[in-house]
Structure 1
Amino acid sequence: MPLVWVTGNAGVGKSAVCALLKSRRKFAVDADWDGFNHWVDRTTGQAVVDPPDPVPAGWLDRYGWQTSRTKVEALAAKASDKVVFFCGSAENDAEVRDLFDLAVCLVVDDGTLRDRLLSRTSNSFGKHPEELAAALDANEGAEAAYRRLGATTVVDGRRPLSEVADAILAASYEV
């Protein structure tokens, strides 16, 4: 069965849609909260166990948010009899893209992104000026970048959450 990657920039609604999919009894994992993503020191390759919050100036230049390929491979093997929704993104997306049968990219405009990051209560990423600037910078070319990675479906993350989830489910039935 397909492994569906629900991706997009920080703040587009991946975790919210993951929670909704779970409430609809779908097999969905939140890459950030379910242990698939972690901070990595780009110099040494070592995972960061206890990252600072908020990150100090320059921290994002050395450390990156990355998805564990090994954990995604194990997820795919474990869930071979049902559709699995993997909700998350990381800087090494290109290194794990081949593991997914379908990629769905959620997109929002910069104003929506700024408002969501500054007001969200689920985590603090994006509230610090350096993090917000990095997220807004990444948002500029996010849709094009995910299309280059093979995102076959792009969903407007400003739509009501139930419509976003419905669009993801509809795309997954086409695989």
Structure 2
Amino acid sequence: MPLVWVTGVSGSGKSTVCELLAQRGEVAVDTDWEGYNRWVHRESGEVVVDPPDPVPAGWLDRYGWLISRERVEALAAASRDRTAYLFGGVENEDEVRDLFDVIVCLVIDDETLKERLATRTSNSFGKHPEELAASLWHNERIEVRYRDLGAVIVDGTLPLAEVVEAVTRARRTPRPWLPGRMRPTPPS
């Protein structure tokens, strides 16, 4: 069954959609909270648990938010008999992209991004000006990048039920960057 990567900028709705799918009994993993991602110093490789609050100037230039390939491989192996959804946004996605059968990108406009980051209570990322600026910078580029990859683009400003439906529908859409990548369904 497919391993679906659901990505988007901070505030695009990844965690909310993940939570709803998990409540419905789907295999849905939020990489931010379930130990898949970590902050890593770009030069030394030092891992830090959390960025300082507030984030000092230049911190995001020195540290990257990276996903563990080993954790994604383990999820892919464990989910051969059912669809699994992995939610996150990481700098080293290109190192794990070959593990995904489908990529979904949630997109939102800048005003929605600003409002969601300013008002959310589940995560403080984006409340500091440097983090907000980085999120806005990525937001300008994300849709084009993922369209070029052949990802399924989902409007994250739609009503939540429609976003969830679009994400689940996407699992049946193997993407062109991985011809023949869809894992076979085990025999019944």
Normalized against structure 1, the TM-score is what?
A: 0.95
Unaligned runs of 5+ in 2: 175-188
Pair 1:165-2:164 in alignment: yes
Normalized against structure 2, the TM-score is what?
A: 0.89
> In 2, Cα distance between the equivalents of 1:128 and 1:36?
24
The structure having more radius of gyration, on CA atoms, is: 2
RMSD (Å), alpha carbons: 1.1
Question: Which residue of 1 is the match for residue 41 of structure 2?
Answer: 41
After superposition, residues 54-69 of structure 1 pair within 5 angstroms as 54-69=54-69
> In 1, Cα distance between the equivalents of 2:68 and 2:16?
21
Question: Which residue of 1 is the match for residue 77 of structure 2?
Answer: 77
The question of whether the paired residues in 1 share the 8 Å contact of 2:102 and 2:173 is answered with no
Query: Secondary structure, in 3 states, of the residue corresponding to 1:43?
Result: coil
The question of whether the paired residues in 2 share the 8 Å contact of 1:97 and 1:149 is answered with no
> In 1, Cα distance between the equivalents of 2:5 and 2:119?
25
The question of whether the paired residues in 2 share the 8 Å contact of 1:94 and 1:149 is answered with no
> In 1, Cα distance between the equivalents of 2:82 and 2:168?
13
Moved runs in structure 1, 4+ residues, more than 6 A? none
The question of whether the paired residues in 2 share the 8 Å contact of 1:9 and 1:89 is answered with yes
Shift of 1:40: 0.7
Unaligned runs of 5+ in 1: none
- Identity across matched positions, percent: 62
Shift of 1:21: 0.5
Could you list the per-position Cα deviations for residues 112-158 of structure 1 after superposition, in whole angstroms to 9, with x for gaps in the alignment? Answer: 0010011110110000011001100110011112233441x100000
| Residue type of the alignment partner of 1:160 | P
Question: Which residue of 1 is the match for residue 12 of structure 2?
Answer: 12
Shift of 1:80: 1.2
Shift of 1:37: 1.0
Shift of 1:94: 1.4
